[in-house]
Amino acid sequence: MGALKIVTRRNVIQRLKKLGDIIFLQETHLSQGEHEKLGRLAGTQIFSSSYKSAKRGVAVLLKNNLRFIKDRCIREKQGRFVFLQGEIDGQLVTLINVYDPPGERVALMKRILCLLMSEAKGLTIMGGDLNLEMNQKIDTTSRIKHKSEPSAKLLREDLSKTHSLVTMYIKLLMLLITLEKQNNK
């Protein structure tokens, strides 16, 4: 391992120790073994999904002081999401961390939304990198509309009208199905 990797890892671990009790990481580019080592060094429980090559990868880190009891963990084989259920101090929680690589087909988002709609229990927290440009002024320096604009527009409109996540997920799922049909033509 090069000296730069050691310095970078040390900096990342120092920052992780200062962050919140639940940390979602995307594009980790780590193997399962390297994820486990990161969890040990950061003093956290870690639940991760890795890809066979050095790309993608997501991880949920939970500080040890949380008293988390795992009930279920689904690790997507291509390193794009981890779905975690359990209890924190007796409170049922579902945590899902997603990395949706640019140019991916809508099948991944459909799978995640279906999983959330059918399996989420208790307090549900979803985070990650969906590669959606929600606000062009903040999310990019490009003046060209991003290919995710239809999905992002739907989310913006729905969030401004209601706080109902169920409504938002259903609308996004319908849009994804429509886009998939268009792509298959």
- In the chain (185 residues long), the average pLDDT of successive 10-residue segments reads 54 76 87 82 85 83 90 92 94 92 73 84 87 65 61 55 53 63 62
* Confidence (pLDDT) at 25: 87
* Confidence (pLDDT) at 105: 63
* Confidence (pLDDT) at 83: 96
Domains contained in the chain, CATH given: 3-131 (3.60.10.10)
CA 21 from chain centre, in angstroms, equals 16
Q: How far, in Å, CA of 168 to CA of 158, rounded?
A: 6
Lookup: tokens for 110: 């459909």
Quick one: which H or E segment has residue 165?
Answer: helix 165-184
Q: How far, in Å, CA of 165 to CA of 159, rounded?
A: 8
Burial of residue 44 (CB within 10 Å: 0-12, 13-18, 19+) is buried
Q: Considering the entire predicted model, what is its pTM?
A: 0.71
Q: Using an 8 Å Cβ cutoff, are 24 and 60 in contact?
A: yes
**SS3 per residue for 57-75:** CEEEEEEHHHCEEEEEEEE
